[in-house]
Amino acid sequence: MPHPAASPLEPGQRVRHPGQPGWGAGQVQSAIGDRITVNFENAGKVLVNARVVTLELLDEDAAKRRP
């Protein structure tokens, strides 16, 4: 049985969904192959298909500077 390819995202990284700006920033909970589970500020836990959506990685320093 083939193993899923590793995702470029890792748990703990902060991301944004480009098509859903209202969801706010999210934190990657798990990334297995093309399935990425993210806990978004305003949408809660969402399973994202990386084949369909490319999540934007947030700059941690910029996120900390925001009030």
Q: Which domain holds residue 42?
A: 14-65
Assess if residue 2 is contained within a domain.
Answer: no
What's the structural domain count of the chain? 1
pLDDT in tens, 17-35: 999 999 999 999 999 999 9
Two structure tokens written together for 40? 């978004």
Query: What is the pLDDT, as a whole number, of residue 35?
Result: 97
Query: What is the pLDDT, as a whole number, of residue 53?
Result: 95
- Name the pLDDT band for 59 (thresholds 50, 70, 90): confident
Nearest Cα residue to 39 out of 8, 12, 1, 3: 12
Residue range 29-56: average pLDDT?
Answer: 97
Assess if residue 8 is contained within a domain.
Answer: no
Query: What is the pLDDT, as a whole number, of residue 1?
Result: 44
Kindly report the length of the chain: 67
Query: Is there a contact between 25 and 58 (Cβ–Cβ < 8 Å)?
Result: yes
Helix (H, G, I), strand (E, B) or coil at 56: strand
Two structure tokens written together for 13? 């990284």
